[in-house]
Chains A and B, each alone.
Chain A
Amino acid sequence: MSPVGASRQLEIKIARKAFRTASGEVREVLRDFSTSLAVGKVHALVGPSGYGKTTLLRIVIGLDRDFEGAVALPPGTKIGMVFQEPRLLPWRSVLDNLRLAAPQASEANLLRIATDLGIAGHLRYFPGELSLGLARRVALARAFAVNPNFLVLDEPFVSLDEALAMRLGDELMALVEHTEVTTLLVTHDIDEAIRLADHIMLLGGRPAKIVADFDIALPRAAMTADYAAKIKAEIGAVIAEAVA
């Protein structure tokens, strides 16, 4: 539900983003990166590590304002962020971590999210007492607790074993579909992107930009191995071409 006249898209246009390295030279990371994210969809940004994916995310969520271009989020956008590392407050319990990020959320709501993500039994623990998998779940719960309309995930399943990553991915998508939140997922894993996203942007080149866009026509629940393989082959062809 967006007010009349409000943008239904999130516009991201980055003309140029450069860093000055320690040795004093300027390294361009992104150039002519432009995309619009349809509201309510899951968008995956795929690319090998070192291609500025995290840099791009930091610009999108407003942590980095030192770039040429513009990021236009619809007014009143509430961001739920899942960083690569869980980034929980180690000196506060799991429940307090959720409460502090989302002070307006009701206890019942927090408990429901915690139950959905399988951490209801760990609310009294300190983050240091959790496994990485559980800490990731808490970070996901925290992002949902703020009732976001823009969910941003930076490699949320990296360094989890595959079965756990799959299960957590499914739980995440159940929540995303239930809340219809616009989602931007950054990953280096093409299979994960195909499985979870409606729209895949392939990042490549140096400085990096979007080299190809794919819309996944099949809804997640109806995803078949054949269709996934077909998309993966298309993406593979683009990557091969880019490298050649």
Chain B
Amino acid sequence: MLLRILSLLLLIAIWQVASMLAASRLLPEPLAVVDVMLREARSGALFFNLGTTLARVAISFALAMFFGTVFGVLMGRSVTLDRLGDPWLVVLLNLPALVIIVLAYIWIGLTDTAAILAVALNKLPNATVTIREGARSLDAGLEEMATVFAMPWQTRLRHVLLPQLAPYIAAATRSGLSIVWKIVLVVELLGRSNGVGFEIGTAFQVFNVALLLAYALPFVGIMLAIESFIVQPFEQHVSRWRIKTA
């Protein structure tokens, strides 16, 4: 942990030295960025835009994970559905994010619905493929056990199915969050009038790197915090029954 902090401090030090050498508006010092951050925070704009972006991340991520899990389980368990759905998946997987985003804006309009849908659609095939892998490796013996003991579907879902999928859900969550929060910024840049992506776009137009970093860095910090304080503990919790190798 100490080493990681040192490494991070080193990065900031290099940034400081580089900005002093460059002495340019295009590479501001760390403190100048903090300054802009504080200004934006005081005006409330920073929190408003961060909150807006986070809300979009949360909704599109939840949509993609929910439908990805449902489709993944169905396709992993039924050969027919797998054959039917697989070409769609391949198409979606190979469609560039930008194409989906632009089409969503053209067909639905420059709305939040279009933005969220575009992000969710970008993430959906990855989630589906990962969960499908999990559904293919489900333990048939446990399913028979649940059938013989006449367990109700809620019990089967919560105690038989989901624990088996948990490692796959955790993997999809990890890779999914990192895809989603990057795409959300692009979506905001292209078609929204608020959010971190929009602010970065504005900063880009006037080459205001300090403003750009003032929005980008807190956002990265929040996503890292979610990753290490929510996603990782969740992973540890669902795998606590595995015997720890000493």
- Are A87 and B142 closer than 8 Å at their CB atoms? yes
- Are B159 and A128 closer than 8 Å at their CB atoms? no
- Are B145 and A81 closer than 8 Å at their CB atoms? yes
- Are A91 and B163 closer than 8 Å at their CB atoms? yes
- Are A101 and B151 closer than 8 Å at their CB atoms? yes
Q: Known contacts being A128-B242, A129-B243, is A81 close to B159, with CB within 8 Å?
A: no
Using a CB-CB cutoff of 8 Å, which residues 69-103 of chain A contact chain B?
79, 81, 83, 85, 87, 89-92, 96, 100-103
The chain B residue with its CB closest to the CB of A81 is B148
The chain A residue with its CB closest to the CB of B147 is A63
CB distance from B245 to the nearest CB of A (A): 12
Q: Report chain B residues within 8 Å CB of A90.
A: 241
**Assembled-state Cα–Cα distance A234/B141 (Å):** 37
Contact of A146 among B149, B160, B242 (CB under 8 A): B149
B52 lies within 8 A of chain A by Cβ: no
**Assembled-state Cα–Cα distance A101/B151 (Å):** 7
Q: Known contacts being A63-B147, A92-B159, is A87 close to B141, with CB within 8 Å?
A: yes
**Assembled-state Cα–Cα distance A58/B242 (Å):** 30
Chain A interface residue number, banded: 20 to 34
Contact of B148 among A61, A85, A91, A126 (CB under 8 A): A61
Contact of A63 among B148, B155, B159, B160 (CB under 8 A): B148
Q: Known contacts being A128-B241, A128-B242, is A89 close to B159, with CB within 8 Å?
A: yes
CB distance from A73 to the nearest CB of B (A): 13
Q: Report chain A residues within 8 Å CB of B242.
A: 128
Q: Known contacts being A100-B151, A101-B151, is A83 close to B141, with CB within 8 Å?
A: yes
**Assembled-state Cα–Cα distance A58/B145 (Å):** 11
- Are B141 and A85 closer than 8 Å at their CB atoms? yes
**Assembled-state Cα–Cα distance A157/B160 (Å):** 25
**Assembled-state Cα–Cα distance A43/B184 (Å):** 65
Q: Known contacts being A83-B141, A100-B155, A128-B243, is A89 close to B160, with CB within 8 Å?
A: yes
Q: Known contacts being A90-B241, A91-B241, A146-B149, is A100 close to B159, with CB within 8 Å?
A: yes
B204-246 vs A, CB cutoff 8 Å, 1 = contact: the mask equals 0000000000000000000000000000000000100111000
Q: Report chain B residues within 8 Å CB of A81.
A: 145, 148-149
Q: Report chain B residues within 8 Å CB of A103.
A: 155
- Are B145 and A87 closer than 8 Å at their CB atoms? yes
The chain A residue with its CB closest to the CB of B243 is A128
Using a CB-CB cutoff of 8 Å, which residues 79-135 of chain B contact chain A?
none
- Are A126 and B241 closer than 8 Å at their CB atoms? yes
Q: Report chain A residues within 8 Å CB of B160.
A: 89
Q: Report chain B residues within 8 Å CB of A89.
A: 142, 159-160, 163
CB distance from B153 to the nearest CB of A (A): 13
CB distance from A99 to the nearest CB of B (A): 10
**Assembled-state Cα–Cα distance A142/B148 (Å):** 12
**Assembled-state Cα–Cα distance A142/B141 (Å):** 15
The chain B residue with its CB closest to the CB of A101 is B149
Q: Report chain A residues within 8 Å CB of B243.
A: 126, 128-129
The chain B residue with its CB closest to the CB of A63 is B144
**Assembled-state Cα–Cα distance A81/B243 (Å):** 27
- Are A79 and B148 closer than 8 Å at their CB atoms? yes
Q: Report chain B residues within 8 Å CB of A92.
A: 159, 163, 241
A35-78 vs B, CB cutoff 8 Å, 1 = contact: the mask equals 00000000000000000000000100111000000000000000
CB distance from A98 to the nearest CB of B (A): 11
CB distance from B40 to the nearest CB of A (A): 45
Q: Report chain B residues within 8 Å CB of A126.
A: 241, 243
Q: Report chain A residues within 8 Å CB of B159.
A: 89, 91-92, 96, 100
**Assembled-state Cα–Cα distance A174/B145 (Å):** 24
Using a CB-CB cutoff of 8 Å, which residues 132-167 of chain B contact chain A?
141-142, 144-145, 147-149, 151, 155, 159-160, 163, 166
Using a CB-CB cutoff of 8 Å, which residues 86-139 of chain A contact chain B?
87, 89-92, 96, 100-103, 126, 128-129
Q: Report chain B residues within 8 Å CB of A128.
A: 241-243
The 6 nearest A-B residue pairs measured at CB: A91-B163, A91-B241, A126-B241, A87-B145, A81-B148, A101-B149
- Can you name 6 extra interface pairs (CB under 8 A) apart from A62-B147, A79-B149? A62-B148, A83-B144, A89-B163, A91-B159, A102-B149, A126-B241
